Amino acid sequence: MIGLEDRQALARDIHVAQAAGARLKPACEMAGINLRTLQRWQAGEGLVGGDRRPQAVRPVPPHALSEAERAQVLALANAPRFAAVPPARIVPMLADEGVYLASESTFSRILRAHGQSAHRGRAKTPKAVRPPTTHIATAVRQVWCWDMTYLPAQVTGRWFHLYLILDLYSRKIVGWEVHDSDHADHAAHLVRRTALAEGIAALSAKPVLHGDNGSTLKATTVLAMLNWLGVKPSYSRPRVSDDNAYAESLFRTAKYRPEFPTRGFADLDEARAWAAGFVQWYNVDHRHSGIRYVSPAQRHAGEDQAILAARHALYTEARELNPARWSGNTRNWSPIGAVTLNPERESVIKTHLPDVNTQQLAA
C-alpha cells in the first residue's frame, strides 16, 4: 500500500519525465508502479485523499459468530481450567467432551480482539532446533529416552535429582524417581523397575534406551543392568546438545508448570509429591501437541485412533450444520504414525520405513 505523500511524489516525477520526452508506460515501470495504477489515481481522488481501503466499512459475513457466541468463546477461554491453556489445546479438549464452539483460529482472533493474545504460561515462545542422527519408533516400547534434571531445594546449593524415562512413540512417562543424590544405583534401579512395569521380558525385540553422555547414565552399574535386561543403550553425540530433545522438552514442560515452586522444595518428600502429581498430569490430563492433542496415556494404550475418529466425526457434523463457516476441509485428526528421534534426511528414513507417515521432532 502506497501512502499519499509517496503517491504524489511518484506522480510528480512521472509527470516531469513525461514532459522531458519519456513515454508514460516506461516511466511508470521505472517508478515501480503500473500504468493502470497511475490512471486510477488520476481518475479518482487517489492523489488527494490517498488509499481509502483502511477506512472502508465492510459488511459482517453472514456466517460470522454472533455476539453471544463470541462472548461464550471468551468466557470459556477465561474459565479457571483453561486460564493457562492455549486455544490449540482448548479446542481438542472440548471436542473430547462433545462440544464444538469455534475453530482454534477463531478462539485466537477473539482473544486478540480483547487484548488477550499474549503467550499463555511462563515459558517463552519455543525456538526451532536443527536435527542430527535418528531412531524410529512405530509402536510403544521400541524407543525410550531418559535423562536426569536438577530440582532446586530451598537451601541454596542443594538439589534433588529427578530421573525420567519417556516412551518416544506415546510420549508417556513410563518411569520416574526423585533422589537427594546423583548415583548410578538410582539409574539402574529405575531402569529395572520400568522394564518390569512395561513387561519388557515378554517382548521379542527389546527397546532402545537413548540418553546423553552423562557419567551416571554411562556407569558400569547401569550398563550391566541394561545388558541383563536386553535393552540396547544409545547415547547423544559429543557436543550436540539437542540429541535428546524429547527428554529436554519434557523437563522444560515440567519446570514451567504453574505449580512448580520457584523458591525450591522444602525436602525430598515434597519434591517426590510434586513429581508424582506432574507425572499424573502429563500422562493423563495433558493434551500433547505432537500426538494430535491426545494424552500420552491414551496413545500408549492405543486409544488415540478412536478418540481422533470421534473428533473427526464431530467436526464433520459441525461443518454440515453451518457449512458457510468452513472454507475448506475440517481439521486433520488423522493419527500420528512413526516418530523419529533426531531425524536424518527424509530419504534415509524412507529406506527404513517405506510408506509410513513419520512424525518429526515436536514439543
Helix (H, G, I), strand (E, B) or coil at 242: coil
C-alpha grid cell for residue 229?
A: 535386561
Query: For the domain that residue 291 is a member of, what is the CATH number?
Result: 3.30.420.10
Strand 135-137 relative to strand 143-152: parallel, antiparallel, unpaired? unpaired
Strand 232-235 relative to strand 208-211: parallel, antiparallel, unpaired? parallel
Are 40 and 100 within one domain? no
Q: Taking the C-alpha atoms of 299, 301, 303 and 308 in order, what is their torsion angle to the nearest 10 degrees?
A: 0
Query: Which residues make beta-bridge pairs with 208?
Result: 143, 232
In a domain, 35, yes or no: yes
Are 221 and 159 within one domain? yes
Residue 253 and residue 282 in contact, taking contact as beta carbons nearer than 8 Å = yes
Are 271 and 193 within one domain? yes
Residue 286 and residue 298 in contact, taking contact as beta carbons nearer than 8 Å = no
CA angle 111, 120, 268 (to 5 degrees): 155
Are 84 and 203 within one domain? no
Q: How far apart are CA 322 and CA 131, in angstroms?
A: 42
In a domain, 349, yes or no: no
In a domain, 343, yes or no: no
Q: How far apart are CA 301 and CA 139, in angstroms?
A: 11
Are 140 and 273 within one domain? yes
DSSP secondary structure of 272-307: HHHHHHHHHIIIII--BGGGTTB-HHHHHTT-HHHH
| Residue where a domain terminates, one of 271, 297, 323 | 297
pLDDT in tens, the chain (363 residues): 788 888 889 889 998 999 999 999 999 998 888 889 888 888 877 788 888 777 788 888 888 888 999 999 999 999 999 888 889 999 999 999 999 999 999 999 999 998 887 766 666 666 665 445 578 899 999 999 999 999 999 999 999 999 999 999 999 999 999 999 999 999 999 999 999 999 999 999 999 999 988 888 889 999 999 999 999 998 887 666 667 889 999 999 999 999 999 899 999 999 999 999 999 999 999 999 999 999 999 999 999 999 999 999 999 999 999 999 888 888 999 999 888 887 665 555 566 555 444 444 333
| Residue where a domain terminates, one of 297, 328, 347 | 297
Residue range(s) defining the domain that contains residue 101: 67-113
How much is the mean pLDDT over the chain? 87
Model pTM score: 0.73
Q: How far apart are CA 362 and CA 291, in angstroms?
A: 9
Are 27 and 143 within one domain? no
In a domain, 122, yes or no: no
73-116 residue pLDDT tens = 999 999 999 888 889 999 999 999 999 999 999 999 999 998 88
The gap from C-alpha 129 to its chain's centroid, in whole angstroms, comes to 13
Q: At what angle do helices 220-229 and 184-197 cross, to 10 degrees?
A: 10
Element housing 190 (H / E)? helix 184-197
Place of cell 510420549: 171
CA atoms within 13 A on the CB side of 225: 21
In a domain, 206, yes or no: yes
Are 250 and 190 within one domain? yes
Strand 358-359 relative to strand 232-235: parallel, antiparallel, unpaired? unpaired
Are 32 and 159 within one domain? no
In a domain, 322, yes or no: no
139 CB-near residues (< 8 Å, 6+ apart):
169
Are 144 and 288 within one domain? yes
| Residue where a domain terminates, one of 266, 297, 328 | 297
Are 151 and 289 within one domain? yes
Nearest to 139 by CA among 204, 70, 89: 204
Please count the structural domains in the chain: 3
Q: How far apart are CA 340 and CA 135, in angstroms?
A: 6
C-alpha grid cell for residue 304?
A: 488415540
36-73 residue pLDDT tens = 988 888 887 778 888 877 778 888 888 888 899 999 99
Are 161 and 251 within one domain? yes
In a domain, 352, yes or no: no
In a domain, 72, yes or no: yes
Nearest to 35 by CA among 49, 48, 22: 22
Are 75 and 45 within one domain? no
